[in-house]
Structure 1
Amino acid sequence: MPKFVFAYHGGNTDMTPEAGQAMMTQWRNWVAGLGAAMVDPGHAVGESITISPSGVAQDGGANPISGVSVVEAASLEAATEMARVCPHITLVEGSIEIAPVLDMDM
């Protein structure tokens, strides 16, 4: 079955501890609800940098990544439906970028 990367962008950084705990509970419930389709729940990430031929940008660019996951889904449309109910999209400026994992010899 095809795999897809979910790249999370945005999100609240100024939550109260209680709101943060409530979000983590929603996140864990979402992951559990995906069952075996959640190949790797991934990681939240800290401040990023962007490296390009013109140099290194310390701010992570226009829409820095805030985490990643890998899911299995029958199609991009099926992966999209999984992402539509992810609690991350309820956060301030929360969005999820979805891309298929390409099967390449490395």
Structure 2
Amino acid sequence: MSKFIYVYHGGSKPESEAEQQRVMAAWGAWMEGLGAKLVDGGAPVGLSKTVSASGTADDGGANPISGYSMVDAANHAEAAKMAEGCPIIEDGGSVEVAEVLSM
């Protein structure tokens, strides 16, 4: 097994308490469905800054990160397939899937 990081981009912020509960339930169900392959449930993240040779931008770049998780999978294809059910996709966001390499 290899480790893969899911980097979540986009999605929208729930506008009501009921919507927040629905979103949290969807995330909980999806993560529960990953079972033992979920290594680290991660967390949502706040406003990001992008630091480059030209300076620091406060907008998080063109596609700011909204959270992350880490999973175990046999290969990149399996990790990507597992990400297909992520609730952020239904909410207009995306999941970047990258293998965590051993150093």
Q: Does TM, scored on the shorter chain, surpass 0.5?
A: yes
Aligned to 1:49: 49
Aligned to 1:77: 77
Aligned to 1:61: 61
Q: Which ranges in structure 2 are unaligned for 5 or more consecutive residues? A: none
Across the two proteins, how many residue pairs are aligned to each other? 103
Aligned-pair identity in percent equals 50
Distance of aligned partners of 1:14 and 1:86 in 2 relative to their CA distance in 1, 3 Å threshold: closer
Residue 42 of structure 2 contacts residue 67 of structure 2 at CA under 8 Å; is this kept in 1?
yes
Determine helix, strand or coil for the equivalent of 2:74.
Answer: coil
Q: Is 2:7 the partner of 1:7?
A: yes
| CA deviation profile, 1:31-55 (whole Å, cap 9, x unmatched) | 1111110000101001100011111
Aligned to 1:103: 102
Q: Which ranges in structure 1 are unaligned for 5 or more consecutive residues? A: none
TM-score for both structures, normalised by structure 1: 0.93
d(CA) in 2 for partners of 1:64, 1:35:
28
Q: Is 2:20 the partner of 1:20?
A: yes
Shift of 1:15: 2.5
Shift of 1:14: 4.6
d(CA) in 2 for partners of 1:57, 1:36:
38
CA RMSD of aligned residues (A): 0.9
d(CA) in 1 for partners of 2:15, 2:99:
31
Determine helix, strand or coil for the equivalent of 2:40.
Answer: strand
Shift of 1:19: 1.1
| CA deviation profile, 1:53-92 (whole Å, cap 9, x unmatched) | 1110000000000000000000111011110011111113
Determine helix, strand or coil for the equivalent of 1:85.
Answer: coil
